[in-house]
Amino acid sequence: MRLFLAALVVFFAGIAAVWAETGAHPWGIGLQEGVTPVKEMIGSFHHELMWIMTAIVVLVLLLLAYVALRFNRKANPKPSKNAHNTLIEIIWTAIPALILIVIAVPSFRLLYFSDKDPAAEMTVKAIGRQWYWSYEYPDHGGIAFDSTMIPDDQIDTAKGQKRLLEVDNRVVIPVNTSVRFLVTASDVIHSFAVPAFGIKKDAIPGRINETWTKVEKEGVYYGQCSELCGPGHAFMPIAVEVVSKEKFAAWIKQKGGVMPQKTAAVIKE
């Protein structure tokens, strides 16, 4: 009994830990906290599916128990010789079809919403390479830089740097801004994924894929390449720093870039 109660405490503590902070956590259970509209919609869809799957599992379990108790040899010594039942066959065909329709509606809505944002306010190009990422800011004077993982012996835990996730040059984007990500690769297939944003897009050589995000909370968010791309696959993390619009303008100036006139006017106001 004590072991059972301890397991419950650990379970709910893990759930609370995941809800409380963005990123992996010891004994954490569940999805990362969402900080974008897309991730919030993904989380909502996930919870809806969990209820549907739970209902299906319970229903099938009850049906199996009924069949085992009602139609075993002892309870039913003279089994029926019927081979078909039209009503039952219609029910077990119609109900799964209706369930799929119920799942398909929010699924298509999510796919359409997460695909792209025609009204994106800025663009960042992410290029996967073996084994690091390169980034370009075409709207801000063509700023470009490489982002490589910081080795273990150079990690500064006092500054909150995370092993295998921290990089020498983070992607910097402003908060509450719709950002278009153009994703491609220069050698093999990679995958640009940031769980807290709810984005994962394949980086394919010779092709540009598009995704978008609008982060509602400042902070540093991590991701990794999610496509097996070679022996250095586990060592090309993604670190995105979300800052205020004023700090973003200062960062662009520091990098030698320029703010678009329209955006600069909004920040000035």
109 & 139 share domain: no
Give the domain extent around 205: 122-268
What pLDDT sits at residue 261?
A: 66
245 & 126 share domain: yes
Give the end of a domain, one of 115, 147, 179.
115
43, 105, 177, 201 from 134: Cα distances, Å? 30, 37, 21, 15
Q: Is residue 261 part of a domain?
A: yes
81 & 104 share domain: yes
Split into its structural domains, the chain has a count of 2
185 & 263 share domain: yes
Q: Are 114 and 209 in contact (CB under 8 A)?
A: no
53 & 131 share domain: no
State which amino acid sits at residue 230: G
Q: Is residue 22 part of a domain?
A: no
What pLDDT sits at residue 33?
A: 83
- Write down the pTM of the prediction: 0.79
256 & 145 share domain: yes
Q: Is residue 30 part of a domain?
A: no
64 & 186 share domain: no
> Helices marked H in the chain — which ranges?
2-20, 37-70, 86-115, 245-254, 261-268
Per-residue model confidence as pLDDT tens digits over 11-55: 444 443 333 344 667 777 777 888 999 999 999 999 999 999 999
Give the end of a domain, one of 59, 86, 115.
115
111 & 60 share domain: yes
Q: Is residue 20 part of a domain?
A: no
Q: Is residue 197 part of a domain?
A: yes
127 & 257 share domain: yes
Q: Tens-of-pLDDT digits for all 269 residues of the chain?
A: 555 444 444 444 444 333 334 466 777 777 788 899 999 999 999 999 999 999 999 999 999 999 898 888 888 888 777 788 889 899 989 999 999 999 999 999 999 999 988 889 999 999 999 999 999 999 999 999 999 999 998 988 888 888 999 999 999 999 999 999 999 999 999 999 999 999 999 999 999 999 999 999 999 999 999 999 999 999 999 999 999 999 999 999 999 989 886 654 444 54
DSSP line for 128-172: EETTEEEEEETTTT-EEEEE-BPPGGG--GGGT--TTT-BSS-EE
Q: Is 47 exposed, middle or buried (0-12, 13-18, 19+ CB in 10 A)?
A: exposed
* Maximum distance among all Cα pairs of the chain, rounded to whole angstroms: 87
205 & 141 share domain: yes
What pLDDT sits at residue 17?
A: 36
132 & 81 share domain: no
Strand order in the sheet with 171-174: 171-174, 237-243, 219-225, 190-194, 199-203
What pLDDT sits at residue 2?
A: 52
- Interatomic CA distance for residues 129 and 208, integer angstroms: 14
94 & 167 share domain: no
What pLDDT sits at residue 263?
A: 53
